[in-house]
Amino acid sequence: MADSPGTPEQEIPKGSYAAGRRVRLPQGAGRPIAVFVNGLAQVAGSDYEIEGSEIVFTREIVKEELGTGRKMALLLGLFGTYRKDETIDVEFTRAGRIELAGDLEVRR
């Protein structure tokens, strides 16, 4: 899904990258399905579509680039991170129960 004509391209901040637009639904996930990016509810049809067993976003999901040195510093608690790193959470039903899957992997 490309940006529509006349729409500026999505800006990717330094230290982050466009991870992709697709997220696989958890196995057995049924409707209703609610999708959240960084805790904010997304709107089906304008923010994403469900295609088979995947959620396909209308824009790239941005993740933080973590090199070895940065990972080690974060692990040791030397500093935090303030780069853009979007997380995808999905609420769905499975076997008659409401479940939540957090920080799902973003794919191309």
Domain ranges of the chain: 16-107
- Reported pTM: 0.76
Q: What is the pLDDT of residue 13?
A: 75
Q: What sign does the CA torsion over 33, 60, 66, 12 have?
A: negative
What one-letter code names the amino acid at 10? Answer: Q
CATH number for region 16-107 = 2.60.40
pLDDT in tens, the chain (108 residues): 444 444 446 788 787 888 999 999 999 999 999 999 999 999 999 999 999 999 999 999 998 876 665 556 656 666 555 667 899 999 999 999 999 999 999 998
Q: What is the pLDDT of residue 2?
A: 47
**Conformation bin of residue 77: beta by default, left when phi > 0, alpha when psi is -120 to 50:** left
